[in-house]
Amino acid sequence: MKITKHSVATIEYTLTADSGELLDTSDGHGPLAYVHGVGALIPGLEDELEGRQGGDVFEVRLPPERGYGERDEGMIQDVSRQAMPEGAEIEVGTQLQAETPGGMHVVTVVEVGEDHVRLDANHPLAGQHLNFKVQVVGVRPATPEEIEHGHVHGPGGHAH
Ligand code: ZN
């Protein structure tokens, strides 16, 4: 069967930056299973998977607007060092969970000053082209429970 809304698709994938740096891969974790059409993956990758079937292999280079979006300089903010969680190791590259009006958000420390810390709330992959190599391993219909939860139960998904 073909991948369409509310299919469970199982994929192997490798994600690299334009520099060739490996950003993410299913290799070593086992294939990824997800419910198609509920926003589980970035939009550009779901678009590319639509209509594919088991055994399909493809490569795609997604621009930022089809991936994690453009970088927004407005999401860079200076906070006082006192506002940092106590005992946390703060250095450039440290990632912290921050509570924002939009929910929990990962922020990255991009600068450490004497009494301030500069935080970047952009997604670490915002502004980047994403080079995916994908192999579709299998496709099946989602169960009503999986559709309700928005994620897969069983192999490659949630066990709960
Ligand atoms: Zn569930």
Q: Which pLDDT belongs to residue 152?
A: 95
157, amino acid identity? G
Q: How far is the CA of 2 from the centre of ligand 1 (A)?
A: 23
At residue 154, the pLDDT reads 86
Each residue's pLDDT, cut to its tens digit, for the chain (160 residues) gives: 999 999 999 999 999 999 999 999 999 988 999 999 999 999 999 999 999 999 999 999 999 999 999 999 999 999 998 888 787 788 999 998 877 777 778 899 999 998 999 999 998 899 999 999 999 999 999 999 999 999 999 877 787 8
Integer Cα distance of 40 and 44 in angstroms: 11
Is this prediction's pTM over 0.75?
A: yes
Distance from residue 121's CA to the centre of ligand 1 (Å): 29
pLDDT of residue 104: 79
Compute, in angstroms, the gap from residue 109 CA to the centroid of ligand 1.
33
Q: How far apart are CA 159 and CA 138, in angstroms?
A: 19
Ligand 1 centre to CA of 113 (Å) is 44
Gap from CA of 35 to ligand 1 centroid (Å) = 11
* Alpha carbon of 146 to ligand 1 centroid (Å): 6
Which pLDDT does position 72 carry in this prediction? 94
Query: CB of 5 within 8 A of CB of 36?
Result: yes
Max alpha carbon distance in the chain (Å)?
A: 59
